[in-house]
A and B are shown apart, each in its own frame.
Chain A
Amino acid sequence: MTEAEKEPSDLLPLPPAQLHILLALADGEKHGYAVMSEVERMTDGEVSMGPGTLYGAIKRMLNADLIEESDDRPDPELDDERRRYYRVSGFGARVLTAELARLEQLVRAAEAKKVASRLQPGWEGAP
């Protein structure tokens, strides 16, 4: 199946780990540690991925063509050239855009229902 034939909607909703990794890679290619650090920074430390979770997700994302390994190696003086670098693929960018649109729509629906204020303690419909 070529990239043009694949539908981003087939992969939605994205698992949280994959969404975080795609977001971390959105502004450029990174190696595993940089991805992990960026995810922690984006979520104020709420999400911390271990090596197993991170590379398990990376494996699945490579298989799904969401990301690709970068052949461009950084200057060896600036970084360890044995590290593997990853970047978002064209298909991955389309999937990320579709997922963010889906989440945005969900937040808009929740805001329209005033869910947050209704579920305050004391409201009779609150769990």
Chain B
Amino acid sequence: MMRSDRLYRAMLLVYPEEHRRRYGDPMAQLFRDRLRRDGGGIGTARVWVHAGFDLAGSAFRERLETAMNVQTWTNRWWEATVILYGVTQAVMGVVIVGNDHPDWAIALGFLPAVLLLGGLALRASRRAVASTMIIVGSLIPAIAFWMIYPFVLGAIVIIGGLSSGKIGRTRAPEPASA
């Protein structure tokens, strides 16, 4: 039992740190309970197979959600980056209008600004929608820059890499009762 518990706890490392910190102990407790109830001989193997599939599926989901979770953006610096990005896009939209470009180009110029700033405004009430809006809003100019100025994308990737390092250190507030 002790060895199984230690191994299961080690396997929990595949979950994001925040999830592990909040739910690691109860998850290990539940695994022990399950092993106590169903373990022994083939039962132990069955519990482990079930736990393995469960862990693989749920850890992937938690990782994905953590990567996309706008809720963890408590960091003002990160919010400011999105606002700056959105405002820059809005200015570019105005420049496109001023240069008498076709309608689709004008729409493409303004769309990222609407998505970025709209996503930021919606993040408290509609997290999933806000997250999608900001990701799509970020991708449109990135793809456009890649097609027009490949070297600009390189700069964006460097800035993005630095900012993601900053985000990675941002933690959601600990729930009062957890």
**Stretch of A19-27, A45-53, A119-127 contacting B (4+ beta carbons < 8 Å):** A45-53
**Stretch of B22-30, B92-100, B104-112, B135-143 contacting A (4+ beta carbons < 8 Å):** B22-30
Interface contact A59-B19, CB-CB below 8 Å: yes
CB distance from A23 to the nearest CB of B (A): 18
Chain B residues lying within 8 Å of A1, measured Cβ to Cβ, are 124-125
Q: How far is the CA of A69 from the CA of B23 in the complex (A)?
A: 13
Chain A residues lying within 8 Å of B28, measured Cβ to Cβ, are 51
Chain A residues lying within 8 Å of B57, measured Cβ to Cβ, are 52-53
Q: How far is the CA of A20 from the CA of B30 in the complex (A)?
A: 17
Q: How far is the CA of A62 from the CA of B19 in the complex (A)?
A: 13
Q: Out of B15, B23, B30, B58, name the residue touching A33 (CB < 8 Å).
A: B30
Dominant secondary structure at the A interface: helix
Chain B residues lying within 8 Å of A56, measured Cβ to Cβ, are 19, 58, 61-62
Q: How far is the CA of A49 from the CA of B47 in the complex (A)?
A: 11
Most buried by B among A36, A59, A62, A71: A59
Known: A32-B30, A69-B178. A53 touches B19 (CB 8 A): no
Interface contact B54-A53, CB-CB below 8 Å: yes
Q: Does B59 contact A (CB under 8 A)?
A: yes
Chain A residues lying within 8 Å of B59, measured Cβ to Cβ, are 52
